[in-house]
Chain A
Amino acid sequence: MSNVNITTFTIVVVLFVIVTGVGFGAARWRRGGSMMHLDEWGLGGRGFGTFITWFLLGGDLYTAYTFIAVPALVFGSGSIGFYAVAYTIMVFPIVFIFLPRLWSVSRVHGYVTPADFIRGRYGSRGLALASAFTGILALMPYIALQLVGIQAVLTVMGVGASSGNTFIKDLPLFVAFLVLAIFTYVSGLRAPALIAFVKDTLIYLFVIVAVFYIPTRLGGWDHIFGIAQAHFTAISPATKKPLGTFVPTSGSVGSTQLDFASLALGSAVALFLYPHAITGTLAAKRRTAVKRNMIYLPLYSVLLALIALFGYMAVADPVTAANVKKTGNAQLAVPYLFQHMFPSWFTGIAFAGIIIGALVPAAIMSIAAANLFTKNVFVEFFKQDASPALQTRMSQWVSLVVKLGALLFAVELPHTFSINLQLLGGIWILQLAPMLIGGLFTRWFHRWALLTGWLAGMIYGTIAAYNVATPTTSHWAGSSDIVFGHSIYIGISAVIINLVIAVVLTLILKATRVPEGADETLPHQYTADPDAVPAAAPAGVTAGLEG
């Protein structure tokens, strides 16, 4: 603890205490009925308007993924890290195609989780269970990424970092975990919703200052790009290969254009399959509001591209580069950069922003996972008559279990690039694409075909990810695999297997006339906006215009 900067530390602690206070106070904010009701704890009383929903959705883009993981990959491997920028571009047109349909059909039928929709569409409890399981599983490494991000900041602050003792070393992680767990347990979704305002204010402040100020200290953008290009194209004497790439290569293995594109596409399709993103969307009051968010959010993500460039700034700053090299942990690139570039009080603000920016999404994700379990597993399969209080209690405990699972991912999986945690979650959640996105447009797929395809994709994806090795790490070392001689994101190859099996089996099952299950949805409900009908005919008569 010798090298802790008192000013930085104090500012982080003060901001953290304020936010924790807000978190606990949130239990009383805009309170409707009893807190012991799932609508209150898990959905904030369903009273969030477009504005708050926008903050919640925007929060999904600005997490430790953005501030720690993406710049770390850029710092370590160069241009491949910018797949995250391409991803946040293409996510909006992709989502523009299917999300309004999901919003409409969910509004008509009162669906709250993706599993609710699957169950209604295919009349299959098994398929709904599979989708709930996938959602919960995939969120764990994503939450783990947030914990690793917090740990990176605390390490650079000098809190418990340099100790040889494993327990002391991981202590900051445990403390962060505990605070997150307690305030989520007490306040539910209200806590992150309210804190999101504080968080975004801090984040915009330091990102804008950083992207304008740091380049002037480092001799301008031309200098930064020049050093980065020289650094990543130089041949390493140890491996006889370049350290990274400055633009994705046209080769077949490594940081190639195909790998870049598949990582971007996989992440883009995955984002709005995650339960927390869907729950956030379903909270929107109107169909137009969903579309409007797809128009505004890309502007939001211009910042993400600039944050990715922090990775190059860290390369271009000799002090930061040396610090990171000493620890061998690329996750520390941005925290070290800020610490070296900013006066200590401003570093404190930036660090607090990153920590809070990781806590908010972690809380939202664990609540979404808990709701999914309570609604689609516990009530559906075990206790149909569970009281609201029991359901809430259940969700509170499950949110703790999910976070414990996340902690396990954070401690057990290699930290070379924490971005792999998010990509691992992506491999799993992508396996829902055929049943969820497919189901929004067609009822052609057979439920058992979808289930088999899902299982095949999950198994292949998990094994392939487990087998990825680097010279320093034997398992879980990456998210791309070489298929037919080309590097490609495992999530994409797995979902292709999934889809092919689903198509072939559907043809077989249809030919043999296996029962397809009831579909409680109607075509026009996918374009409906019930609340917008001004006392007209019942929804269903006038709808059905858009293809």
Chain B
Amino acid sequence: MSHATTRSRSAVAAHPIISAAIAILVIADIFFSLYTPIYARLTPKLGDFPFFYWYLLIFMPVTSLALWLAALLQKRLGPPSGESEGEDVR
């Protein structure tokens, strides 16, 4: 990964687009679960589930995906203290 060698003082200044993308991913996640008027309604239904309920159910995996992307993008910003990509699950 070529970006790993970046020694910039500020990763945000060096990668404004990636930084903005991370911020949008995280903030959108919070906003769309917090701003209730968007989903406090019954229709459109998905199968037997009213909108309010399937929206919340589907939001869970979406959050997972968004945070996975955000973490991936953060790696491109330059890993803190030479962070490696190795798995450390034990």
Enumerate chain A interface residues (CB-CB to B < 8 A).
49-51, 79, 82, 85-86, 88-90, 92-94, 96-97, 104, 220-222, 225, 229, 246-250, 257-258, 260-261, 264-265, 285-289, 291-292, 294-296, 298-299, 301-302, 305-306, 309, 527-530, 532-534, 536, 539, 542-547
Contacts and interface: CB of A to CB of B under 8 A. Distances in A.
Interface string B58-84: 011101101110110010011111111
Contacts of B66: 93
Contact of B26 (A93, A264, A529): A93
A132 B90 CA distance: 32
Contacts of A49: 88-90
A96 B34 contact: no
Contacts of A257: 36-37, 40
Interface in B17-66: 19, 26-27, 29-30, 33-37, 40-42, 47-50, 52-53, 56-57, 59-61, 63-64, 66
Interface of A is mostly: helix
B89 A528 contact: no
A252 B35 CA distance: 15
A299 B12 CA distance: 30
Interface residues of B, number: 49
A96 B84 CA distance: 19
B88 A86 contact: no
Given A295-B67, A299-B60, A546-B11, A264 B77 contact: no
Contact of A298 (B27, B40, B42, B64): B64
Given A50-B89, A257-B36, A302-B60, 6 more contacts: A264-B33, A295-B71, A298-B61, A299-B64, A533-B82, A547-B11
Contacts of B40: 79, 247-250, 257, 260
B30 A529 contact: no
A528 B82 CA distance: 9
A248 B40 CA distance: 6
A93 B12 contact: no
B48 to A, nearest CB: 4
B47 A221 contact: yes
Contacts of B70: 96
A50 to B, nearest CB: 5
Contact of B80 (A96, A221, A534, A546): A546
B15 to A, nearest CB: 10
27 contacts: A49-B90, A50-B88, A50-B90, A88-B60, A89-B60, A90-B30, A92-B67, A96-B67, A222-B48, A225-B50, A225-B53, A247-B50, A250-B37, A250-B40, A260-B36, A260-B40, A291-B71, A295-B64, A295-B68, A295-B71, A298-B60, A309-B53, A542-B81, A544-B9, A545-B6, A546-B12, A547-B19
